[in-house]
Amino acid sequence: MRLKGAPKTASMEKTHMTPRDTQEVLRLICQEDARFAQNGYLFLSQALDHTVKKLDRAQKKGTQRHVSGQELLEGIREFALEQFGPLTRTVLENWGITKTEDFGAMVFNMVRFKLLGKTDSDKPEDFANGYDFYTAFELPFRPKNKARAL
């Protein structure tokens, strides 16, 4: 995925929209597809920024890099746990996000509205079965002897 306008070295582009313009586009997305809250889209944008920065640190400067669906899912997981801790799953569910495929749907809504870019090989299925929300967001905070059997 590519955020419109980020440095080319990260293979990301961020739009030159003002925050107000972005908010308006997100409002339109939510009107068209009411499954997910506007705050969920804002979180997704922040998680993508987090992922790009993390990947930039892990590679040589000046090289162009594309963020895959699986890399974005891992970045989302990390960022969500940092931001919300044991409440992560509750927050995401409050925004209508209950599985990794939901992130894919949101990404492609943002692509359709030109908030994100993509390559020809990117597809919503890249987000399928990324991880189980209980395992990713609750299990890390459960006492070891009280963890639910999967």
Q: What is the pLDDT of residues 56-78, one digit of tens each?
A: 876 666 555 679 999 999 999 99
Provide the whole-model pTM: 0.82
Distance from C-alpha of 112 to C-alpha of 117, rounded to nearest angstrom = 9
**Nearest by Cα to 23 from 5, 40, 36, 42:** 42
Please tell me the distance from the alpha carbon of residue 107 to that of residue 29, in angstroms, as a whole number: 11
Beta bridge partners of 150: none
pLDDT > 90 in the chain, percent: 68
How many structural domains are present in the chain? 1
Please state the rounded mean pLDDT for residues 13-37.
83
* CB distance 122 to 67 below 8 Å: no
List pLDDT tens digits, range 92-124.
999 999 999 999 999 999 999 999 989 999 999
Q: Write the DSSP string, the chain.
A: -EETTS-GGGT-------HHHHHHHHHHHHHH-TTS-HHHHHHHHHHHHHHHHHHHHHS-TT---PPPHHHHHHHHHHHHHHHHGGGHHHHHHHTT--SHHHHHHHHHHHHHTTSEE--TT--GGGGTT---HIIIIIGGGS-GGGPPP-
Q: Is the pLDDT of residue 52 over 70?
A: yes
Q: What pairs with residue 2 in β-bridges?
A: 117
Q: Write out the residue range of the structural domain in which residue 55 sits.
A: 2-146
Instruction: Kindly report the length of the chain.
Output: 150
